[in-house]
Amino acid sequence: MLVFTKLPSDKTMSTEHDVVNRALNLVGKICKAPEGKRQVAASTAIHRKLLDYFCSDVFELHKSALIAFHCCCVADGYRDLCLKKHGVDENLSQFDKYIKKAIEQYMKAYTDQNWDYYVNICASISGFAGIFPEKQIAFKSLIIPLIKVMGDKIDVVRRNSAVLIAKLTQNEENKKWMQENHGTEVLLSL
């Protein structure tokens, strides 16, 4: 894992692209084992790299980092690790770039109708919003598209949309926004 932490964070890299992508894939595979997930989530250096690559403009790096970062978000105790070990402040401002990129990628997947990627980004945001409920309001702009997708799609796309809207509407303002836009009726019709 030391090799991974020494890779460059340059968002526009080209020559190291393949090496970084392979390293991210390896981290994602390590996260599939419970002990691997725990160790990746506990590493401050890996945590920072995953966020850097998630915010990358190189889609392949972004997608691979999303998968590994999602594993961290669902690891037991990740919130405490962020606040006590990884140097994340009480306001969680280190995640502002993640939030901006996640919203951007959700809207891109939604607009492009890239449903495979849409499912992944919904899962990532759901995991993040679950452990950092104080940041749920930042995703308010996704509620109307989520309602539309829940009404129009089936199977895993609908399910991941419903899970995400359920997470986001734990916030009262988001819940009110969903209700004003008839999201409750759509949910009840599923």
pLDDT tens for each residue of 146-174: 999 998 888 999 999 999 999 999 999 99
Confidence of residue 90 (pLDDT cuts 50, 70, 90): confident
What is the distance between the alpha carbons of residues 43 and 33, in angstroms, rounded to a whole number?
16
Decide if pLDDT at 125 tops 70.
Answer: yes
pLDDT score of 56: 84
Instruction: For the chain, give the secondary structure using H, E and C.
Output: CHHHHHCCCCCCCCCCHHHHHHHHHHHHHHCCCHHHHHHHHHCHHHHHHHHHHHCCCCHHHHHHHHHHHHHHHCCCCHHHHHHHCCCCCCCCHHHHHHHHHHHHHHHHHHHHCCHHHHHHHHHHHHHHHHHCHHHHHHHHHHHHHHHHHHHHCCHHHHHHHHHHHHHHCCCHHHHHHHHHCCHHHHHHHC
Looking at residue 178, its amino acid is M
Decide if pLDDT at 9 tops 70.
Answer: no
Burial tier of 156 (Cβ tally within 10 Å: 0-12, 13-18, 19+)? middle
Decide if pLDDT at 53 tops 70.
Answer: yes
pLDDT score of 99: 96
- Residue 30: C-alpha distances to residues 10, 26, 33, 38, 39 (Å): 24, 6, 6, 10, 9
Decide if pLDDT at 20 tops 90.
Answer: no
What does the mean pLDDT of the chain come to? 88
**Buried/exposed 107-118: b ≥16 CB within 10 Å, e otherwise:** eebbeeeebebb
Decide if pLDDT at 6 tops 80.
Answer: no
What is the distance between the alpha carbons of residues 142 and 73, in angstroms, rounded to a whole number?
20
What is the distance between the alpha carbons of residues 32 and 119, in angstroms, rounded to a whole number?
18
**Top-confidence residue, 118 or 15:** 118
**Top-confidence residue, 32 or 186:** 32
What is the distance between the alpha carbons of residues 144 and 19, in angstroms, rounded to a whole number?
39
